Amino acid sequence: MGRRVVDTPLGPLTVLGAAGALVEVSFGRLGDGDCGAGDADGDPVVETATRQLAEWFAGRRRQFELPLRPTGTAFEHRVWAAMSEIPFGATATYGEIARRLGTSARAVGNACGRNRLPIIVPCHRVVGRNGLGGYSGMGGRTTKLWLLNYESPYSMD
């Protein structure tokens, strides 16, 4: 398994890859004793993900082109696929996604909370009908608001 810790404006992210695909992006430094910020264990997917995240945070990338293999149920994969279709700078509500998938907004929210690839699979773009909604990443709603403001059309050149 390849691993790299990436410094970002939100703090460190740990990027994990296995068997030629990205499997997890976690807020914080996971496994710091095993792998430092400059070591991707030679995993090309982790190296590519690291580069694409740096480009995204620098405002030079709006979508990711990576092989993904997060662990989850078939339903969660459907929700994550729907989230991945939300364009940079746009949002969709839990209810809109639920209607499209024939399920409940709560079920969509639960799947969002189990997303193991935040930012790459943009769960921050899913909001409540009457507000921001939750965010399970480090920093919670503050991080979600930062990500949404970062993607607003006024923040990009």
Q: What is the pLDDT of residue 40?
A: 52
- Model pLDDT, residue 55: 96
Task: Give me the active site residues, please.
Answer: 123
At residue 1, the pLDDT reads 85
Sign of CA dihedral 130, 134, 139, 143: negative
Output the CA angle 135-95-109, nearest 5 degrees. 30
Give the pLDDT confidence score for residue 41 in this predicted structure: 58
Task: Name residue, tokens 């998938």.
Answer: 101
Given this model, what pLDDT does residue 30 score?
76
Q: What is the pLDDT of residues 9-24, one digit of tens each?
A: 999 999 999 999 999 9
For 64-78, b/e burial (b = at least 16 CB within 10 A) is bebebbbebeeebeb
Res 131: pLDDT: 86
The class (CATH top level) of 74-151 is mainly alpha
pLDDT tens by residue, the chain, 157 residues = 899 999 999 999 999 999 999 999 999 887 644 444 445 557 899 999 999 999 999 999 999 999 999 999 999 999 999 999 999 999 999 999 999 999 999 999 999 999 999 999 999 999 999 888 888 888 889 999 999 999 986 544 4
pLDDT at 31: 66
Q: Residue 120 contacts by C-beta under 8 Å, 6 or more apart in sequence?
A: 22, 25, 49, 53, 64, 66, 68
Domain ranges of the chain: 2-57, 74-151
Q: What pLDDT is attached to residue 33?
A: 44
- The 3-class secondary structure across 45-85, one letter per residue, is HHHHHHHHHHHHHCCCCCCCCCCECCCCCHHHHHHHHHHHC
45: which strand partners? Answer: none
